């Protein structure tokens, strides 16, 4: 029997590994009148934890979403399981933070407009003016200019947090937002704030990273998308990519190639999060890429 997107749901879970987890989940879904469409699992032998993502469809005689959620909660309590469960058709609400460099912002908005990224953009926030955003998509979105200085940083961060709450934002994306979030805001956004870093971490820190890389004669440059934590640039990594560099490449070549890597790495990381393919595993992540 065919299942529409509106009838599909996504379940993600993690728990201490033990026999019978897959049986418990699949049995629950079968008894609820559901059909498993896709399932991925991972047993981390180092931590002794089990991770799973299941896409399933509710057939005509299936229990309601609320009833399924109640049954999942019962299994979760029995197996000490952390889980998420939502309709596959529900769209997450996303806030984009940006500074002067707008290549990642423009790319994300293009992918959003064309339907590649299933999300609802709640706002664009920048510490620089509207004129720095080249994307035509900005015209139809709420834009908040919150300039930041040493004197008003905490006040502006409080405003950002207010916006997150007022708009019911599910995910915050630092699309080359060149401000370090405070420990307090990082904690509030734990697991739902993604940053793009202009290197294959660990890498060159400080100003002009591509110029530093050029001076060292690197053969690879890269980018890293990770969740934001209070430990600067050390949050759980979601996605990375690299590109070959030769002695012929100038610093401008590295900047150009670096922007391209940043765009595609951030877009992939955001898509994985939007589709519930990322599960935190301590300081790491489990990413079910499909």
Measuring CA to CA, how many Å separate 223 from each of 36, 264, 266? 35, 9, 9
Choose, from 44, 233, 241, 253, the residue flagged as catalytic.
233
Most distant CA pair in the chain: distance in Å? 65
Task: Report the Cα 78 to chain-centroid distance in Å.
Answer: 29
Contact, 16 vs 48, CB < 8 A?
Answer: yes
When computed from its CA atoms, the radius of gyration of the chain, rounded to whole angstroms, is 21
Task: Report the Cα 102 to chain-centroid distance in Å.
Answer: 18
Query: What is the three-class DSSP state of 268?
Result: helix
Asked if 233 is an active-site residue, the reply is yes
Catalytic residues: 233
């Amino acid at each position: 029997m065919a299942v529409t997107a509106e009838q599909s749901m996504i379940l993600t879970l993690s728990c201490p590994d033990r026999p019978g987890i897959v049986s418990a989940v699949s049995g629950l879904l079968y008894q609820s009148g559901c059909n498993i469409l896709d399932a991925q699992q991972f047993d981390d032998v180092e931590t002794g934890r089990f991770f799973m993502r299941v896409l399933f469809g509710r057939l005509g005689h299936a229990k309601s979403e609320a009833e399924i959620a109640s049954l999942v909660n019962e299994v979760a309590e029995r197996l000490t399981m952390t889980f998420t469960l939502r309709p596959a058709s529900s769209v997450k609400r996303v806030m984009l933070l940006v500074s002067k460099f707008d290549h990642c912002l423009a790319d994300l908005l293009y992918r959003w407009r064309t339907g590649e990224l299933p999300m609802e953009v709640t706002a664009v926030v920048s510490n620089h003016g509207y004129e720095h955003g080249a994307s035509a998509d900005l015209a139809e979105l709420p834009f908040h200019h919150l300039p930041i200085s040493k004197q008003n940083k905490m006040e502006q961060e409080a405003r950002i947090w207010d916006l997150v709450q007022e708009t019911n934002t599910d995910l915050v994306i630092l699309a080359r937002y060149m401000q370090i979030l405070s420990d307090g805001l990082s904690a509030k956004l734990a697991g739902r704030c993604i940053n793009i870093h202009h290197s294959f971490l660990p890498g060159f820190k400080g100003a002009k990273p591509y110029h530093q890389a050029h001076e060292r004669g690197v053969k690879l440059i890269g980018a890293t998308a990770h969740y934001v934590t209070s430990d600067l640039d050390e949050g759980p990594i979601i996605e990375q990519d690299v590109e070959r560099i030769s002695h012929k490449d100038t610093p401008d070549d590295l900047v150009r190639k670096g922007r391209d890597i940043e765009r595609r790495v951030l877009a992939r990381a955001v898509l994985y999060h939007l589709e519930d393919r990322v599960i935190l595993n301590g300081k790491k992540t489990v990413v079910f890429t499909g």
